[in-house]
Amino acid sequence: MSVLTLSVLFVLSGLSFSEAAFASGYGDHIPGDSTNKGKGNARKNNNVDVWGVNGHPLNQEPYFGNIDLQLSLIKEAGMSYYRIDIAHDEKGVVSGEYLARFKTLIQKAAEQHITLIPVLFPPDSATLYGLPDTAAAYEAGRVLGNGFAKQYGRLFTYYELGNENDARVLKDPPGDGSDTAQYEHSRYVLLAGWFKGMIAGIKGMDEDAKFIISNSGWNRYAYFDVLKAEGVRFDIMGYHWYDGVEGLRSVLKKLRTDYADQTVWFTEINRRGGGSTGTRIQKREVCKELSLIRRAGKNIRGAFIYELFDQPHAAVSESSYGLFGWEHYHDSAKPKGMTTALQKIVFKK
């Protein structure tokens, strides 16, 4: 659900960033680690100390030309992390007409002390799962990771590797994802090889890098087990959730017991269809989910809403996930009921 799209390419080749991006201390504190209680902005007795939102500031049209608005609304909502999709080629190079947009985002996010989390993507399924062996997958990942970190490693603390790739390695017909036997070995070993190469490539340029891998939710926690069995070493388990509180209760129990030593961030949260079936329903369901997540366990430390803006030109089922609806398209937005309720969860208002 809500797969971050890759609609454009952009590059930073030869780019010179303002020193403000680094003088601010951008990215040198690591909250949300179950072994390192961060400073965060969470309420007392709240295990979650990383609050964030998803957005598409580089490659989806509702986000064009309004970076200042995006960052001010993120702050208004009580967030300090912004998870964004990056488009890149097989060498980790990004290019195209969105260079200025990226430069502005980096500069202004640093000034606002908003941490950007880039999501980097494996090749398309036909290419990745058509590779001859794990060595080829590893090398493809290494080249991409090394190329990206060589240019941008000083800008980021966290790198998210892929997005909801569990869906492509489940056997057909798929089970619920709770058992490692439900995953196709010939596919997940290639994906694991690519992840390992990415990690090695990025670490070669940015030795302090932290890595996130996310699933698509439901009961698909065994996805992380098959990756670990193949030697993938990541720092944060990213979980997505769009399916109400009943199923969430059992997943949270699983995460705080069987994965107690693993830091978990819910990197996408909303209800399926967003506000398309009513913003009051969306508000009620999402706030119930967040209330459970923030008290679920000491290892469950991050929560990211999907997404910042409504996208009115998208399909109905994808158009109303936003924390903010439009007053005047591109220029001004207002909080939805879900946003006001969220602020009370994140901090007292």
pLDDT for residue 347: 65
Structural domain total, the chain: 1
pLDDT for residue 60: 93
pLDDT for residue 331: 96
Kindly report, residue by residue over 32-45, the tens digit of the pLDDT.
Answer: 554 333 344 444 55
Domain for residue 220, yes or no?
Answer: yes
Cα 100 to Cα 53, 71, 156, distances in angstroms: 22, 16, 18
Kindly report, residue by residue over 42-52, the tens digit of the pLDDT.
Answer: 445 578 999 99
pLDDT for residue 33: 54
Q: What distance lies between CA 336 and its chain's CA centroid?
A: 22
pLDDT for residue 220: 98
Q: Which domain holds residue 213?
A: 47-346
pLDDT for residue 28: 40
Cα 289 to Cα 25, 243, 251, 310, distances in angstroms: 32, 9, 12, 20
Flag residues of the chain having pLDDT under 50: 2-30, 34-43, 348-349
pLDDT for residue 15: 40
CATH number of the domain where residue 113 is located = 3.20.20.80
pLDDT for residue 343: 84
Long-range contacts of 343-348 (CB under 8 A, 24+ apart): 343/77, 343/78, 345/43, 345/287, 345/290, 345/291, 345/294, 346/41, 346/42, 346/43, 346/51, 346/77, 346/78, 346/79, 347/41, 347/42, 347/43, 347/78, 348/43
Domain for residue 136, yes or no?
Answer: yes
Domain for residue 42, yes or no?
Answer: no
pLDDT for residue 88: 86
pLDDT for residue 35: 39
Domain for residue 134, yes or no?
Answer: yes
Domain for residue 10, yes or no?
Answer: no
267, 302 contact by CB (below 8 A): yes
